[in-house]
Amino acid sequence: MPSHNPKRSYHINGRILIFSSPSGAGKTTIVKHLLETFPQLAFSVSATTRPRRDHEIDGKDYYFLSVNEFRNKIEEDAFVEWEEVYKGTYYGTLKSEVQRLLNRGRHVIFDVDVKGALNIKKLYGDKALAVFVMPPSIEELEKRLRHRSTDPEESIRERIAKAKLEMSYADKFDIILVNDKLEEALAKAEEIVKNFMEK
């Protein structure tokens, strides 16, 4: 199935911050830090069909849906964006989730796949800032993925191949943030977010 790429734009008051990267490049760590630093930010929880991991909570980490439930929501046009990231594994952003946060007067921060990020940016235009978190190298990324060791070898190889493809999209983002030394990347991310929210 092709990625859903909405054309409409929405009138919103809040800002939209989109962080994306290859798996293992550190975007989730950066997003968590920003949420702790800026109380006016709210996290947009994605929906997915992938199995829930032991430590994950439905509605907090992801909205966990069956493939059928997810496909029904596609038919209902319930997503801002969605993608079949791996065969049979879908990720997407529910329109209702984004609107819920904007209605509360918050700025919304996303931690999403590269194609999803570009679709959200297209939808919200100047109200959104798309940041690509770049690993220092593909070798370093592979080292991080193996160190995490949450995935089997085949999955790691698949993620590396996908990372190379995703890194080719980096220049389509508003900002590239290289995550070599984490402390420096966190400080830079804070500066990026502060400047954008104050615009």
Residue 181 lies in a domain: yes
In this model, does residue 4 exceed pLDDT 60? Answer: no
CATH code of the domain containing 165: 3.40.50.300
- The predicted-structure confidence for 10-56, as pLDDT tens digits, reads as follows 445 789 999 999 988 999 999 999 999 999 999 999 999 999 999 99
**Model-level pTM?**
0.81
Residue 29 lies in a domain: yes
Give the domain extent around 55: 16-198
If one counts every other C-beta atom within 10 angstroms of the C-beta of residue 192, the result is 19
Q: Residue 120 carries which side chain, given as an amino acid letter?
A: I
- Local structure of 90: helix, strand or coil: strand
- The predicted-structure confidence for 126-163, as pLDDT tens digits, reads as follows 999 999 999 999 998 888 888 876 778 888 888 899 99
CB-neighbour burial class of residue 164 (10 A; exposed 0-12, middle 13-18, buried 19+): exposed
- The predicted-structure confidence for 171-192, as pLDDT tens digits, reads as follows 999 999 999 999 999 999 999 9
Minimal CA–CA distance to 84: which of 119, 44, 38, 49?
Answer: 49
Is the C-alpha dihedral spanning 115, 119, 122, 125 positive or negative? Answer: negative
Give the alpha-carbon dihedral of 39, 61, 188, 167, to 10 degrees: -150
Residue 74 lies in a domain: yes
Domain count, the chain: 1
Residue 10 lies in a domain: no
Residue 8 lies in a domain: no
Residue 5 lies in a domain: no
Residue 89 is predicted with a pLDDT of 94
Residue whose tokens read 């509605």:
59
